[in-house]
Amino acid sequence: MTVKAEKAIGVVDDDDLRGTSTFIPLKQQHFVLVHGVGGGGWCWYKMRCLMENSGYKVSCIDLKSGGIGQSDADSVLSFDDYNKPLLDFMSALPKNEQVILVGHSAGGLSVTQACHKFANKIRLAVYVAATMLKLGFRTEDDLKTGVPDLSEFGDVYELGFGLGHDKPPTSAVVKKELQRKIIYHMSPHEDSTLAAMLLKPGPMLALNNAQFTEDDSDEVEKVPRVYIRTKHDKVVKPEQQDAMIKRWSPCTVYELDSDHSPFFSAPFLLFGLLIKAAASDVGCN
């Protein structure tokens, strides 16, 4: 089922939800927001404000080398190391607490790994213009579907070679002069300016080697999934999103008229969709 975001979103409170089969008071809903390549918890500042003002609990994760983290992306060589902050966060949650995981872009890989390892602690996984591959990058099709292809824009990356220039690059970031054109073309200039100041190289070698075993594939299927499709995305293009949706079908697909960064370009609509997902009966059956 595909649902387009409404032009106006009303406030959802406990009285709207009470009596439903999955009613959880707002103060008990806990969103965990996971950034994409080179980002950080700062990406979600608008969403965090909207959510907390509406009574939700919100945690914004800085993955290793992201956000305020001090690690150099060129030193982060494995996906397990990169995603350790999220896995440590999930491990520390009380056994009876469930969260709603939201991953943006490559943050979808982080969410999927958490679903493999902590299915019982995750009420819902939401992929926002995100890489949604059940087992990560295990085949050529996975790479074709899940890795952004920005070749149409020319030489877009500044690369880092932590293992030497004769080895594959260990980090990458889109050049500042191209970031707005590619990532934030529908976002306010204030936000793309902020991003240009804060965006850091991402550990590309670690991300491209993200793979998950089939040993716990039954666990990951226990977590209901929602995909939020970004209609004007130049990074994870709509046809790539559609291919991932077709290969590993989520319970619900929402659509936003936004660029790759709806937390900047369509924050109120994204907020409304996250509320809707949290308030609904998210089981796939």
Contacts of 110 (CB under 8 A, 6+ apart): 34, 61, 63, 82, 83, 86, 103
Q: Are 183 and 198 in contact (CB under 8 A)?
A: no
Q: For tokens 């070698």, name the residue.
A: 205
Mean pLDDT of the chain: 90
Q: Is the predicted pLDDT of residue 251 greater than 80, yes or no?
A: yes
Residue 217, CA distances (Å) to 115, 118, 133, 175 in order = 9, 12, 12, 37
57 phi and psi angles, rounded to 5 deg? -90, 135
- For the record, the structure tokens of 279 come out as 């308030």
- Confidence at residue 280, expressed as pLDDT on a 0 to 100 scale: 78
CA distance 277 to 226: 8
- Confidence at residue 252, expressed as pLDDT on a 0 to 100 scale: 96
Please name every residue paired with 126 in a beta bridge, in sequence order, or none if there are none.
Answer: 102, 226
User: Which residues are part of the catalytic machinery?
Assistant: 105, 233, 260
Instruction: Count CA within 13 A, CB hemisphere, residue 84.
Output: 11
Look up residue 160 and give its amino acid. G
Q: For tokens 């030193």, name the residue.
A: 75
pTM of the entire structure? 0.91
Q: Residue 93's closest CA among 30, 26, 22, 27?
A: 30
Residue 192, CA distances (Å) to 88, 154, 198, 264 in order = 31, 20, 10, 8
pLDDT tens digits for range 91-105: 999 988 999 999 999
Contacts of 74 (CB under 8 A, 6+ apart): 160, 161, 162, 170, 171, 201, 203
Mean pLDDT over 120-140 rounds to 96
- For the record, the structure tokens of 109 come out as 């890989």
CA distance 230 to 218: 29
Instruction: Count CA within 13 A, CB hemisphere, residue 68.
Output: 4
Q: Is the predicted pLDDT of residue 281 greater than 80, yes or no?
A: no
pLDDT tens digits for range 24-55: 555 579 999 999 999 999 999 999 999 999 99
- pLDDT-based confidence at residue 141 (cuts at 50, 70, 90): very high
Mean pLDDT over 67-96 rounds to 95
- For the record, the structure tokens of 132 come out as 């949604």
